[in-house]
Structure 1
Amino acid sequence: MPFSPTGISKPRKPRPSRARGLRTSTGCLTCRKRRVKCDETRPRCGQCAKSDRDCVYGAPNTPTLENAASLTESPEQPSTARRNTATSATGIPGNTHSPGGCSSLVGDIDPQLFMSSPELRFDLSPLTITTSVPSPNSAPLEWYDLLAEDAISNIQKHNLGFDQTSLSRRQSPVPETPDVDPQLLSPSISHEPPVHHVEPWNTVGTISLTDDELSLFQHYVNVVGPILDMFDPMRHFTLVVPRLAVHNVGLLKSLLAIAARHLALHSVQQRTQSVQRPRSSINGPPETNNQVKALKQVATQYYYETLHYLSKNLLYPVYAKSGEIIATAILISTYEMFDAEGSYNDGGWERHLRGIFWIQRSQDNNGESHDGLRRAAWWAWLRQDIWVAFRESRRVLTIWRPTKRLMDLSPDELATRIVYITARCVDFAANEKQYDMALRIGLGDRLLQALDDWYRQLPPSFRPIYTLPADDTSMFSPIWIHPPVYAAAMQTFHFARIIVLINQPSVGGLNLFRQRRRQLDESVDTICGIAMMHQGQDLPSAFVNFQAVYAAGLCVQTPAKQNAILRLLETTLDVGKFPPKTLLDDLVRYWREES
């Protein structure tokens, strides 16, 4: 008699007859698992095409249905996942509860659950597999053309006074001796061949900085870099990118641009104590409109100088595939994120995210890249694209699928995996009408199962250290999870679950409605509790808090909770200064339409 994972015997289920296909050794694994007749059409059989299911064919001589359940990927999925059999070093929280309310003890989870998790088999975004995607060699140039076109338009529209001809990409062939930007040449650089190899777009010596530039540079290292490194334990944008920037003019200019724009975004400059800043004209708090305006002008100047550098160096194929270019692209994108509501912005950030996708794809970057900087850049880009896709009701741009199983991930990798699953949940929430109700319910169930799989795999470090009682002024109990990245991962998890639950059709009765309401209430309480603990102390956390708190606001109905979330969201926006407080108006408008 079979036993459950807890050791309690349970009656054997009736065995299907041979007439229903139990012993079949032909057809796709999906049809064999469903016990339906397969016409064996490849790459996708008729049954799977009709029901919009993943069609998986096994290797020859695989007649049993159990083999179908053990596959971790579709035919497009690399086979490395099957070869990755390392034992997980993480445990599962003892005596914890899954989001659905089922208790989960250490060692009680069937390993097969994590070998066939549905989060590895979601459909690709139709926006990124069309024939309009540029070739790998032309992707950086196409991305630059997007930037230059918008920049030239702004120069003409707002009479900014920049030389727009300097942004035109040179069309002549690349010379044998690179036409390096003169700013790359340092007086201390000898004309003798260098002892060690230096790429032609980099300087041998450190690029000198003025006092103002050094002040901006330090602001980036202490304030902006940690925002980008929220999910990166190696802190590449804080530790690696600044070292690259002092030898690359384009990367340096983009770094200075984002630092100046972030300072302008804040009404009072946040001073850092770890580094003593030199005297400079922008060292003091920008308390006046003139100072803020000056910072914006400085940021815009550095932004256009970055584009000018790109126009002169992107035609060198090695530079177009370098780590410097992908780091520059992410910094430019983050600059445009901070400038999204600026007077010169016309939706460029949203459009340019697609250009960065082209570059990422041309370099074959993804969330499991061996190069740490490329991996960090990919996750930073995906986090930005998730928010834009969510707000625009479109699917995210990534076409990558993870190869590692949940049980093989480290705690830090589990934190980034929830970002990927959230991207798939945003896909589900996209405004697409081609799915009928039954298919959308099924896809929603797959996503909820993927979220549940992730949650049940978490080690104890993701659990709260302490939960404070709610005070008289708030309806939520502060929740302390440390380190902050694990708190951000838990908020991201509940953000994703809310997205699925409020967009999944329901044909269930009162019991299903009550279950969903309990899950939504749990997610709202967790998101707001974590935001209350972290939003006042941790600026990088604020860039996760505002998204999660906004999603929490979409599923609260009582005026008391709505007012509490408005106050919490406003405080979070005061910390991060992004996005603008018009987000509060959007939430109030949503409540008014739903009432």
Structure 2
Amino acid sequence: MPVSKPRKPRPSRARGLRTTTGCLTCRKRRVKCDEGKPHCGQCLKSERECTYAYSTEHSRPTGASGQEATTSPAQPKASVVADSPMTRKSIGSAGLFGESPELRFDLSPVALSTSLPSPNSAPFEWYDLLAEDAINNIQKHNQGSAQISLSRRQSPVPDAESDIDPQLQAAEPNRPANAGSNYEPWKSSDVIPLNDDEIGLFHHYINVLGPVLDLLDPLKHFSNLVPKLAVHNVGLLKSLLALSARHMALLSDHQSPQQAFNAHTPVSHSSAQEPVALSSPLLELGTQYYYETLQYLSQNLLYPAYNKSAEIIATAILISMYEMFDSSGRYSNGAWEHHMRGIFWIQRSQDNNGETKDGLRRAAWWMWLRQDIWVAFRESRRVLTIWRPTKRLVDLTPDELATRIVYICARCVDFAANEKQFDMNIRIDQGDKLLQALEDWYRILPPSFQPIYTHSVPQSGLFAPIWIHPPSYAAAIQMFHFARIVVLINQPSLGGMSEFSRRQRFLDESVESICGIALVHQGNDLPSAFVNYQALYAAGLCVQTPVKQNAVMQLLEKTLDVTKFPPKTLLDDLTSHWRAES
């Protein structure tokens, strides 16, 4: 009988069968991983997707010279950028050159499960939402005289210009005699005249509100192009004036309209924490312009060319911002929540997205997504977009990197929304993918995202001011930390105390960065403040000591004094969260 060779002793499960440093694929397959980057040998051999978990202090990224990267207060130790200039080709992460993990995240079931209107009917469905809410408000405040022209749509959608009601075509007294087939009756060839009060509102929009809309748009379409379109389109002009009057009503309910018209920068008022009374002259003026915008839409949506125009997209965004200010912090079952879905329909009907070639349409899409992220986060729902970027991180310009973090942030809000029914291991894996996507984005940032000045020692309080310029890059870093906090506080953990300590360290680093940036930008920069209040609220969700809670609360209150939105009931929500966690 042949003598069998002695078997090698099987290593214990605690010592030889598992690894915590290999790729996620090998760990799931329970095979040995050589930890090759960007793809390990096992995944290359079997042609499997190779993804690594979120890096820890034992696997920090390195710069081109191979030296460990250093950090600053704005750069957490787990997500750093090398001090020396780093070429994008020198970074070996698979997510940078291939498909980034956030692009593989499931599409939003909120959007997919909702019956979408046809491209032709989308503008009408959007108008129906607006008219329904407007009629309810009219009835609530006994403004019956305005209800006559705001009835909901009754007529079908025309398929072509020839299907337009002849009476509507005949009601064009200013149509040029030599107008050809390209004549667009919903536009004015002459500049629409404005009175003195409207000039003041126009100035307020250009100097104050346009920059808020343009924070992440280097070409500043809402400040530069939209006003030029508005003076030739009544609907866009009325929505612009409505937005300006509504915002000035938030700034002060004590000034006269003429005094407010002359204010080109926001002024803090303690009374602004409460919704402005309906008797406010500025609020009444804004409401009047809003109803006139809806009246214009009811008459001109019958023109298919208008429904595909840049003017209707710009009008939709301005109306959305008007409803944001008008919502008083209430999102569900309100005009603003309805309008988010309505704009989603219009964007889909025009095939607009974050990579659309037309600059205004692209800027409008990103602005809409920024608004929807906050509503979705507060309402614990998924964002509405079902679009996915096609460009790789390595191919993006710095300004495009600033907008890409908005998309990744949307996917992080998706993760936090309604996935609690999933298996814990699936939740952990999803969270790891999103954390890896955030890591990939942060590591590829060029030096222009670095702080231009950081106080080494806090001047006062707990946080050192961090100055990042331009403000759009500071806003991108704020959204990065907002997204990271959202994932970390919603991802299950099986790692025990060591994993808990590691996560808390990352959360503390994000809180320090958020508050440090807010210290510099919240005082006099309205566009930045509209990002800072969201990041500060997220920071407040993960601070535990009363001293830090008080510091975050003071920063958030000062920021809300600048934005006037949302109302300071947001502070009460944060206080209630701390009380429930204690």
Q: TM-score, normalised by structure 2?
A: 0.81
Distance 1:344 1:521 in 2: 29
What's the CA shift for 1:426?
Answer: 0.2
Aligned residue identity for 1:416: T
Contact 2:108/2:383 (<8 A) preserved = yes
Contact 1:535/1:572 (<8 A) preserved = yes
Q: Are residue 164 (structure 1) and residue 163 (structure 2) matched? A: no
Secondary structure at the aligned position of 1:503 is classed as coil
Q: Does the C-alpha gap of structure 1 residues 490 and 282 become closer, same or farther in structure 2, counting only changes over 3 Å?
A: closer
What's the CA shift for 1:345?
Answer: 11
Q: Are residue 314 (structure 1) and residue 304 (structure 2) matched? A: no
Q: Are residue 101 (structure 1) and residue 101 (structure 2) matched? A: no
Q: Are residue 248 (structure 1) and residue 233 (structure 2) matched? A: yes
Q: Deviations over 1:444-482 (max 9, x none)?
A: 000000000000000001011111244464110000000
Distance 2:68 2:253 in 1: 45
Distance 2:67 2:218 in 1: 22
Q: Does the C-alpha gap of structure 1 residues 304 and 190 become closer, same or farther in structure 2, counting only changes over 3 Å?
A: closer
Contact 2:76/2:510 (<8 A) preserved = no
Q: Are residue 142 (structure 1) and residue 119 (structure 2) matched? A: no
Q: Are residue 283 (structure 1) and residue 266 (structure 2) matched? A: no
Distance 2:543 2:126 in 1: 40
Q: Does the C-alpha gap of structure 1 residues 309 and 577 become closer, same or farther in structure 2, counting only changes over 3 Å?
A: same
Report matched runs for 1:26-425 at 5 Å: 65=45, 68-69=48-49, 95-97=69-71, 99=76, 101=78, 105=82, 106=86, 108-110=90-92, 112-114=94-96, 115-130=98-113, 132-168=115-151, 169=153, 171=155, 174-175=163-164, 179=168, 191-194=176-179, 197-267=182-252, 283=261, 293-341=280-328, 347-425=334-412
What's the CA shift for 1:68?
Answer: 4.9
Distance 1:178 1:93 in 2: 75
Contact 2:200/2:262 (<8 A) preserved = no
Distance 1:247 1:94 in 2: 57
Q: Deviations over 1:358-395 (max 9, x none)?
A: 11111110000001111000000000000000000000
What's the CA shift for 1:165?
Answer: 2.4
What's the CA shift for 1:175?
Answer: 2.9
Q: Does the C-alpha gap of structure 1 residues 452 and 171 become closer, same or farther in structure 2, counting only changes over 3 Å?
A: same
Aligned residue identity for 1:585: D
Q: Which residue of 2 aligns with 1:3?
A: none
Name stretches of at least 5 consecutive residues in structure 1 with no aligned partner.
Answer: 1-29, 37-62, 72-90, 271-278
Q: Which residue of 2 aligns with 1:507?
A: 494
Secondary structure at the aligned position of 1:255 is classed as helix
Q: Does the C-alpha gap of structure 1 residues 219 and 134 become closer, same or farther in structure 2, counting only changes over 3 Å?
A: same
Q: Which residue of 2 aligns with 1:562?
A: 549
Q: Which moved more, 1:547-556 or 1:512-521?
A: 512-521
Contact 2:135/2:147 (<8 A) preserved = yes
Name stretches of at least 5 consecutive residues in structure 2 with no aligned partner.
Answer: 1-23, 31-42, 52-64
Q: Does the C-alpha gap of structure 1 residues 589 and 339 become closer, same or farther in structure 2, counting only changes over 3 Å?
A: same
Aligned residue identity for 1:112: A
Contact 1:389/1:396 (<8 A) preserved = yes
Distance 1:248 1:94 in 2: 56
Q: Does the C-alpha gap of structure 1 residues 558 and 331 become closer, same or farther in structure 2, counting only changes over 3 Å?
A: same
Aligned residue identity for 2:146: D
Question: Segments of 4+ in structure 1 off by > 6 A?
Answer: 30-36, 91-94, 285-292, 342-346
Secondary structure at the aligned position of 2:185 is classed as coil
Q: Which moved more, 1:545-554 or 1:339-348?
A: 339-348
Q: Which moved more, 1:285-294 or 1:437-446?
A: 285-294
Secondary structure at the aligned position of 2:405 is classed as helix
Q: Does the C-alpha gap of structure 1 residues 70 and 499 become closer, same or farther in structure 2, counting only changes over 3 Å?
A: closer
What's the CA shift for 1:177?
Answer: 5.1
RMSD: 3.3
Contact 2:522/2:529 (<8 A) preserved = yes
Contact 2:329/2:566 (<8 A) preserved = no
Which of 524, 527, 532 in structure 2 is aligned with 1:537? 524
Q: Which moved more, 1:156-165 or 1:357-366?
A: 156-165
Secondary structure at the aligned position of 2:168 is classed as coil
Q: Deviations over 1:62-121 (max 9, x none)?
A: x965765499xxxxxxxxxxxxxxxxxxx9999445746376653542163311320111
What's the CA shift for 1:495?
Answer: 0.3
What's the CA shift for 1:132?
Answer: 1.4
Secondary structure at the aligned position of 1:404 is classed as coil
Contact 2:479/2:531 (<8 A) preserved = yes
Q: Which residue of 2 aligns with 1:496?
A: 483
Report matched runs for 1:568-579 at 5 Å: 568-579=555-566
Q: Does the C-alpha gap of structure 1 residues 418 and 31 become closer, same or farther in structure 2, counting only changes over 3 Å?
A: closer
Distance 1:513 1:33 in 2: 21
Q: Which residue of 2 aligns with 1:552?
A: 539
Contact 2:213/2:367 (<8 A) preserved = yes
Q: Does the C-alpha gap of structure 1 residues 475 and 162 become closer, same or farther in structure 2, counting only changes over 3 Å?
A: farther
What's the CA shift for 1:344?
Answer: 13
Aligned residue identity for 2:92: D
Q: Answer 1 or 2: higher relative contact order, Cα 8 Å, separation at least 6.
A: 2
Q: TM-score, normalised by structure 1?
A: 0.79
Distance 1:493 1:378 in 2: 19
Q: Does the C-alpha gap of structure 1 residues 447 and 134 become closer, same or farther in structure 2, counting only changes over 3 Å?
A: same
Which of 559, 565, 574 in structure 2 is aligned with 1:587? 574
Secondary structure at the aligned position of 1:395 is classed as coil
Q: Does the C-alpha gap of structure 1 residues 228 and 580 become closer, same or farther in structure 2, counting only changes over 3 Å?
A: same
